[in-house]
Amino acid sequence: DSGVTQTPKHLITATGQRVTLRCSPRSGDLSVYWYQQSLDQGLQFLIQYYNGEERAKGNILERFSAQQFPDLHSELNLSSLELGDSALYFCASSPQPGQGGTEAFFGQGTRLTVV
């Protein structure tokens, strides 16, 4: 158990809908990272928050947004969903602003299926 908790584990929704994925970081970790794993793109970094503020942005679509709350949990919001958004979404956390070293631990992921 990495200590990073993601909910829900599975989500099935229709095209055009909006969903929210939730991540609770390991106790004491201030950074949260979101990654998307899809069949065609592999594992891609989406976005990072550190202590409530956006710190780094990757290949995140404009239809997607995220935030980190004062209790340090994070939510990834996906809107106007398309079939191609079907993927496994991972959250990771670390105590520092960067992810280097031993702190690169991931949650179990949320599998999103858009039908």
The distance of closest approach from Cβ of residue 10 to other proteins in the complex, given in angstroms and rounded to an integer, is 10
Cα gap 94→80, rounded to integer Å? 30
Nearest to other proteins of 52, 97 (CB atom): 97
The distance of closest approach from Cβ of residue 48 to other proteins in the complex, given in angstroms and rounded to an integer, is 5
Give the contacts of 11 (CB within 8 A, at least 6 positions apart): 19, 21, 110, 111, 112, 113
Cα gap 10→6, rounded to integer Å? 10
The distance of closest approach from Cβ of residue 59 to other proteins in the complex, given in angstroms and rounded to an integer, is 10
Nearest to other proteins of 27, 102 (CB atom): 102
Nearest to other proteins of 58, 84 (CB atom): 58
Cα gap 95→40, rounded to integer Å? 31
Nearest to other proteins of 16, 58 (CB atom): 58
Residues forming the site for other proteins (CB under 8 A): 2, 33, 35, 42-45, 48, 55-56, 58, 90, 97-102, 104-109
Q: Which residue(s) pair with 13 in the sheet?
A: 114
Residue at 9: amino acid letter = K
